[in-house]
């Protein structure tokens, strides 16, 4: 049971999250998501996780934050908009996903979450907590829905009815009780299947999961082997990530441009020609993408992507 003091702290935490630029913030009681365990196991056992073997590991921790933070009682979930109307690439120029336009979102969001955590500790020094941004086995989307941030679309990405789906999730797990939000129980996708129908490689399953072995985002970022030619022909110039399922989603008609300078696309990258992308040197790659999410894809593998899309877009 929460007290008036807990409710006050919950409101202060949300206000602090908004002050640090977050667009969404919800709080939920920590628990074990046992119902997600068979879904994760079945998805991995079917091979739909591709080379990402780690997704089938530490499942107990994925569904139970108490195994990440002993004594976990509350989970704070934040959403940070990264949508922009500016588009890069096309017409023979390699395309990168909007999420990789600026500074690596892991670093940006982790910094903001840690500031919130410091704020909470300034009020209650006894608090124990930790911030997570894709950095631990935790099912962020499930927690986001439980915290009232939205519902999973058919493309499996969380959708919020006020800002769409172009937003990053961040999580803070705490060992204190807080006033919690109600879960988002509605589903506003209706009969729409635009994301499924528009996926270039047919990677979206009917049960709101993704077969990453076909997903362009996976093929251009996580994939360790060569891209099968039948899929390479359908990549539509994409060399890092894919936004197609989000671009066609009707809920993103309400998306507003973000207000985070960290996520702006550098003008030099925006102006690059197809020839400049094809002749990109290691030194240029290191300089241009030093602080970008693209850096995680080594120069050799990134240039393999460039070569593939150049071959099939010519």
Task: Report, as residue numbers or ranges, the catalytic residues.
Answer: 134
Helix %, strand %, coil % for the chain, to 5?
A: 40, 15, 45
Measured distance CA(303)–CA(308) in Å, rounded: 8
Kindly give the pairing relationship between strand 95-96 and strand 238-240. Answer: parallel
The three state secondary structure string of 234-297 is CCCCEEECCCHHHHCCHHHHHCCCCCCHHHCCCHHHHCCCHHHHHCCCHHHHHHHCCCCHHHHC
Phi then psi for 110, rounded to 5 degrees? Answer: -60, -40
Nearest Cα to 217, choosing from 204, 205, 208? 204
| Token pair recorded at residue 287 | 């300089």
Question: In the Cβ-directed half-sphere of 138, how many Cα atoms lie within 13 Å?
Answer: 26
For the chain, how far is it from start to end, CA to CA, in angstroms? Answer: 63
């Amino acid at each position: 049971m929460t007290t008036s003091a807990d409710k006050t702290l919950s409101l202060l935490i949300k206000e602090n999250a908004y002050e640090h630029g977050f667009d969404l913030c919800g709080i939920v009681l920590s628990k074990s998501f046992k119902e997600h365990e068979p879904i994760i196991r079945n998805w991995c056992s079917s091979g739909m996780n591709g080379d990402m073997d780690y997704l089938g590991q530490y499942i107990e921790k994925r569904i139970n934050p108490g195994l990440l933070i002993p004594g976990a009682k509350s989970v704070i979930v934040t959403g940070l908009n990264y949508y922009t109307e500016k588009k890069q690439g096309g017409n023979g120029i390699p395309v990168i996903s909007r999420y990789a336009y600026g500074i690596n979102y892991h670093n940006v969001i982790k910094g903001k979450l840690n500031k919130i955590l410091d704020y909470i500790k300034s009020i209650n020094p006894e608090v124990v907590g930790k911030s997570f941004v894709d950095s631990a086995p935790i099912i962020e989307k499930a927690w986001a829905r439980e915290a009232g941030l939205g519902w999973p679309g058919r493309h499996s990405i969380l959708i919020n009815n006020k800002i769409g789906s172009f937003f990053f999730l961040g999580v803070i797990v705490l060992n204190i009780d807080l006033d919690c939000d109600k879960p988002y129980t509605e589903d506003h996708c209706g009969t729409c299947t635009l994301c499924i129908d528009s996926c270039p490689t047919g990677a979206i399953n009917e049960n709101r999961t993704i077969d990453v072995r076909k997903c362009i985002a996976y093929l251009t970022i996580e994939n360790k082997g060569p891209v099968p030619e039948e899929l390479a022909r359908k990549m539509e110039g994409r060399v890092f990530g894919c936004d197609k399922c989000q671009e066609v989603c009707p809920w993103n008609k309400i998306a507003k441009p973000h207000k985070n300078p960290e996520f702006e696309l550098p003008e030099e990258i925006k102006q690059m020609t197809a020839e400049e992308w094809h002749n990109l040197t290691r030194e240029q790659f290191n300089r241009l993408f030093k602080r970008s999410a693209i850096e995680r894809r080594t120069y050799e593998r990134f240039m393999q992507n460039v070569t593939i899309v150049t071959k099939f877009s010519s």
